[in-house]
Structure 1
Amino acid sequence: MKNPLKNIGPGTLVAAAFIGPGTVTVCTLAGVSFGFELLWAMGLSIVATIVLQEMAARLGLVYGKGLAATVKEQIQTPWLRVAAILLIVSAILVGNAAYEAGNISGGVLGLQTIFKEAFVTLVGFQFNYLSLLIGVIAFTLLFIGNYKVIERSLVALVLLMSISFVVAAILTNPEWVNVLKGVFLPKFPSDSLLTIIALVGTTVVPYNLFLHASLVQEKWSGAQQLPAARKDLYISIVLGGLVSMAIIICAAGIEQQNIANAADLAKGLEPLYGEVSKYVLSLGLFAAGITSAITAPLAAAYVARDCFGWKKDLKSARFRVVWIGILGLGVVFSSIGFSSIEIIQFAQVANGLLLPIIAGFLLWVVNKKSVLGDVRNTTFQTIVGLLIVLATLILGLRSLYKVFF
C-alpha cells in the first residue's frame, strides 16, 4: 500500500511496445476519417491483448521459460522443431527490424514538429541526426543491461506519452456522450473494414507475447506471483488502450481531412488550440517512438536467447549483438530517408504472417498440463483464445491482401 507502483513494470513495457508510431498513425487516421465510430474496435483490441498477454505472463511465471523456449521444448518431431524455430527467429528478427525503422521515424516526426531542420550532408548523403539521437538514447538504456533501469525509464516515458495524448484529447473538448456511444455501440461505417483491421493489428503485437513471457521472469517467479503480474498487466494495457482512444478522440476534433500522420495532427490542432497542442502532441509522439525503439530490439534479443539456449544475462555479448543489430538497422533506414510508410507496410506483411501462428503456439502450450499444471487454461479461456486466433488469422489474410492487391 505504501508504494502502489512497486509491482508495475513488465505490463508497462508491453504497453510501451504496442503504442508506437504505427498505432499513433492508425488511430489518427481512424479519428480523422470516422470520428468516434471506431472506438469500439480499439476496446475489443485491448480485450484481446489482455487475454493473450495474460497467457504469456502465466507461461513465463509458472513454467519459468519464454514462449520460444517452450515451443522448442514441446515440439517432439525434430524437423517440425527446426521449422518452428526458423520461422520464429526469421519472422521476429526481420519484422522487428522493419518495425524499428518505423518506431525511430515516428519519434523523429515528433521532434521535427519542433526542430525543423534536422538533416546534415556527409559524403554526398543526407542523414537525419534526430534518428541518431533517438538511437543513442535507446542504445544507452539497453547497453546498461539493468532491467530496473530500463523498466523505470520506460514507465516514465509511457507516463509522459499518456499525459500528452490525454491532455491533447481534452483540449479538443469532445461531445462525451458521442464518445461513449463510439466505445459501446459497434458501427461499421462505409470503407472502415481495413481501418478496423489496422486498429487490431497495431494493438495485438506478436513480439509482445515473447517479450512479456521473458520480462515477467526478470521481476517475479512462481504461480504465487500471478496476482501481482495480472494487476500490472490490467493496469498497463487498459492505460495503453485509453491512450490509443485519446488519439482517436483528438483526431476526431480536426475538421480538415488532409491529415496523414500524428505530425500533421499536431499542426492541424495548432490553429484551433494554440501552440500548446503542437508541443504536447510532439512530446507524445517522441515518447511513443522511443519506447517502441527500446522494446522491439529487446524482444528480438529475448527470442534469439530462448531459441538458441543462451544464458539469461542482459549484458551477454550474444544478447547485445542481436539488439544492437536491430537498433542499428532501424537507425540506418530511418536516417537515410526510407519511407516510413513503406517500412510499416513491410512490417505489416511480417505481422500478418506471424500473428496467428504465434497466437496458435501460445494457446497450444498454455493448454498443456505438462507445462502449466493446474493453472493451464480453463475451457472459457480456451474458447476466447480460439476466437482470437481465428480473428488474427482473418486479420493476417486481410493484411496480406491489403499490401499485395
Structure 2
Amino acid sequence: MGSWKKYFGPGPIVAAAFIGPGTVTVCTLAGVNFGYELLWALGLSTVTTIVLQEMSARIGLVTQRGLAENIAATVRQGALKYLSLSLVLLAVVLGNAAYEAGNISGATMGAEMFVPISLISFGGIQVNLINLLIGILAFMLLLTGSYQKIARVLTFLVVSMSLAFLVNAFLSAPDWAALIEGFVPTVSESNIITTVALVGTTVVPYNLFLHSSLVTQRWKDISGLKYARMDTCIAVIIGGLVSMAIVVTGVKGQSLEVTRAADLAVGLEPLMGAYAKYFMAFGLFAAGLTSAMTAPLAGALVIAGCFGWSTALHSRSMKWSVSLILGLGLLFSSLGIKPVQLITIAQLANGILLPLLSAYVIWIINKKTLMGRYTNSPTVNVLTWVVWLITLGLGWLSIYKVLVSMGLI
C-alpha cells in the first residue's frame, strides 16, 4: 500500500453522513432567511466536529473498541450503568430514527422530481411508496454487505453536487464584506432555532459512535493516529466549506417557503439554468440514500455495543438493530409532516442531543486507566470544554424558544 493511501480512512464516510439532505435544506434556508449572518455557526460546528471526531477516533484506536462498547465496559456501578446506557440508547435510537426519517424524506423530495408520488393507506397512516422503496433499498444494501461500494459511488455524486455549490458560491458574486462579517457570532430570538440546526447538521452525534468503530477496522493500533487525524481534519474541513457554500448560494434564493427540490434549486439557477432543479433533485436523492445507510449502521453499532452483541454486519443482532432504526425512520417519515420540517426537526434534535453524547466522549478520553498516555492535554481539555459549553448553551436556548412558542413560559 502506498504511503499516501494510509491517510484515507473513514473521514469521507463521516463527512458524507453530515452532507445529507438536512445540510442542503438547513443551509439553504439559513442563506435565504438570514443571509450571511449565521456563517459563524458553521465555522463553530466545523471546529467542534474536528475536536469531537478526533477524540472518538483516538478512543477507538487505543482501545480497539467502539464508543458504545467502551461506555458499557467503563460504567460499572449498578444503577448508574443502566441509566447511562439507557440514555445513550434512547438518544441514539430515537435521534437516529428522526435523522433517518429526514434522510428518507430528503431522498424522496429529490425523487419526486422524476417520478410521481404514490400513497398507500394503512389505517390512519399514509405511506409514501417512494419512502418505502428507499427504505427497502437502504436495507438491502446494508444486509448484502455491498453498501460500502454503493456508498463510495453515492459519495462521489454528493461531492459532485458540492463542487457545484462551491463554484456557484463564487460565481454568485457574494458581498465579501458581509460574508466576512457573517463569522462574527450573533444570536437573536429570530435565528436561534436555525443556529442550533446548523450546528446539528454538521456535528452529528451518531458520527461519534460510527467513527470510533470504523477506525478499528481501518487501523489496528495507535500507530494509525496521525493518519486518522489527517483523514478527519481534511474530510470535516471540506464538509464545512461545502456547507458554507450552500449558505452563500442560498442567499441568492427568492423563496421563503421551501417544500420541494425545485424551491431549493433557486440559488443554482444562475449557474445551471433550467437544469438546476433536476440537478438539485438528483443531489438530494443521492445525499439522502447515502445518509440513509450510515444512520441505521451507526445506530445498530450502538445497540450491539451496549449489549455486547456481535457487530458483524451479517449477524442477527445487527440485522434486527438496522431493521429497528429503518422501521422507525419509515414510520416517522409517514406521519404527514412536510419533508423540510422533518429534516429541520431532526437537525434540531441533533443539536440538543450533542452535549449529552459529547460529555461521554470527554469523560472516556480523560480516563488514564483506559487511554494511558493518550488522554487529552490540559490545553485540549480547555478547548474541549469551551466547545461543550457553547453547544450546551445553544441547546438550552433552543429549548427555551420552543417552550416560549408553546406558551409554557
Task: Calculate the TM-score normalised by the size of structure 2.
Answer: 0.89
Q: Deviations over 1:211-260 (max 9, x none)?
A: 11111112222110112211221121122112212211221122444446
The answer to whether the Cα contact below 8 Å between 1:345 and 1:403 also exists between their aligned partners in 2 is no
The answer to whether the Cα contact below 8 Å between 2:249 and 2:267 also exists between their aligned partners in 1 is no
Q: Return the offset for 1:346.
A: 5.6
Q: Which moved more, 1:165-174 or 1:30-39?
A: 165-174
Aligned to 2:172: 174
Q: Return the offset for 1:165.
A: 3.2
% identical aligned pairs: 45
Give, in whole Å, the separation in 2 of the partners of 1:214 and 1:144: 19
Q: Which moved more, 1:256-265 or 1:48-57?
A: 256-265
Aligned to 1:40: 40
Structure 2 regions of 5+ residues with no counterpart?
405-409
Aligned to 2:81: 81
Q: 1:123-272 residue pairs with structure 2 within 5 A?
A: 126-145=126-145, 149-171=146-168, 173-175=171-173, 178=176, 181-182=179-180, 185-186=183-184, 188=186, 191-259=190-258, 263-266=262-265, 269-270=268-269
The residue type equivalent to 1:174 in the other structure is: S
Q: 1:23-102 residue pairs with structure 2 within 5 A?
A: 23-102=23-102
Q: Return the offset for 1:293.
A: 0.8
Instruction: Indicate whether 1:381 and 2:383 are aligned.
Output: no
Q: Which moved more, 1:351-360 or 1:378-387?
A: 351-360
| SS class of match (1:274) | helix
The residue type equivalent to 1:355 in the other structure is: L
The answer to whether the Cα contact below 8 Å between 1:9 and 1:151 also exists between their aligned partners in 2 is no
The residue type equivalent to 1:175 in the other structure is: A
The answer to whether the Cα contact below 8 Å between 2:158 and 2:283 also exists between their aligned partners in 1 is yes
The answer to whether the Cα contact below 8 Å between 1:161 and 1:284 also exists between their aligned partners in 2 is yes
The answer to whether the Cα contact below 8 Å between 1:165 and 1:281 also exists between their aligned partners in 2 is no
| SS class of match (2:300) | helix
Aligned to 1:107: 107
Give, in whole Å, the separation in 2 of the partners of 1:249 and 1:10: 28
Give, in whole Å, the separation in 2 of the partners of 1:269 and 1:276: 9
Give, in whole Å, the separation in 1 of the partners of 2:5 and 2:160: 17
The answer to whether the Cα contact below 8 Å between 2:205 and 2:350 also exists between their aligned partners in 1 is yes
Q: Return the offset for 1:131.
A: 1.3
Q: Return the offset for 1:386.
A: 0.5
Q: Return the offset for 1:151.
A: 3.3
Q: Which moved more, 1:173-182 or 1:309-318?
A: 173-182
Give, in whole Å, the separation in 2 of the partners of 1:19 and 1:298: 16
Distance change (3 Å), C-alpha of 1:373 and 1:285: same
Q: Return the offset for 1:75.
A: 2.1
Give the aligned length.
401
Q: Return the offset for 1:178.
A: 1.2
Q: Return the offset for 1:118.
A: 1.6
Q: Deviations over 1:381-404 (max 9, x none)?
A: 111110111112112212322333
Q: Return the offset for 1:82.
A: 0.9
Structure 1 regions of 5+ residues with no counterpart?
none
Give, in whole Å, the separation in 1 of the partners of 2:187 and 2:82: 44
The answer to whether the Cα contact below 8 Å between 1:12 and 1:154 also exists between their aligned partners in 2 is no
The answer to whether the Cα contact below 8 Å between 2:61 and 2:221 also exists between their aligned partners in 1 is yes
Distance change (3 Å), C-alpha of 1:257 and 1:79: closer
Give, in whole Å, the separation in 2 of the partners of 1:401 and 1:244: 26
Q: Return the offset for 1:187.
A: 5.1
| SS class of match (2:312) | coil
Give, in whole Å, the separation in 2 of the partners of 1:74 and 1:123: 44
Q: 1:233-382 residue pairs with structure 2 within 5 A?
A: 233-259=232-258, 263-266=262-265, 269-270=268-269, 273-335=272-334, 337-340=336-339, 343-344=342-343, 347=346, 350-351=349-350, 353-382=352-381
Task: Calculate the TM-score normalised by the size of structure 1.
Answer: 0.89
Give, in whole Å, the separation in 1 of the partners of 2:191 and 2:337: 28
Give, in whole Å, the separation in 2 of the partners of 1:123 and 1:200: 36
The residue type equivalent to 1:282 in the other structure is: A
Q: Which moved more, 1:79-88 or 1:156-165?
A: 156-165
| SS class of match (2:155) | helix
Give, in whole Å, the separation in 1 of the partners of 2:185 and 2:388: 23
The answer to whether the Cα contact below 8 Å between 1:259 and 1:268 also exists between their aligned partners in 2 is no
The answer to whether the Cα contact below 8 Å between 2:197 and 2:344 also exists between their aligned partners in 1 is no
Distance change (3 Å), C-alpha of 1:345 and 1:168: closer
Distance change (3 Å), C-alpha of 1:233 and 1:126: same
Give, in whole Å, the separation in 1 of the partners of 2:154 and 2:6: 17
Q: Return the offset for 1:269.
A: 4.5
Distance change (3 Å), C-alpha of 1:169 and 1:320: same
Q: Return the offset for 1:104.
A: 0.2
Q: Which moved more, 1:171-180 or 1:307-316?
A: 171-180
For the aligned residue pairs, the C-alpha RMSD in angstroms reads 2.7
The residue type equivalent to 2:29 in the other structure is: L
Give, in whole Å, the separation in 2 of the partners of 1:331 and 1:129: 11
Q: Which moved more, 1:283-292 or 1:149-158?
A: 149-158
The answer to whether the Cα contact below 8 Å between 1:105 and 1:131 also exists between their aligned partners in 2 is yes
The residue type equivalent to 1:80 in the other structure is: L
| SS class of match (2:333) | helix
Q: Deviations over 1:69-109 (max 9, x none)?
A: 21222223211111101111122111211211111001111
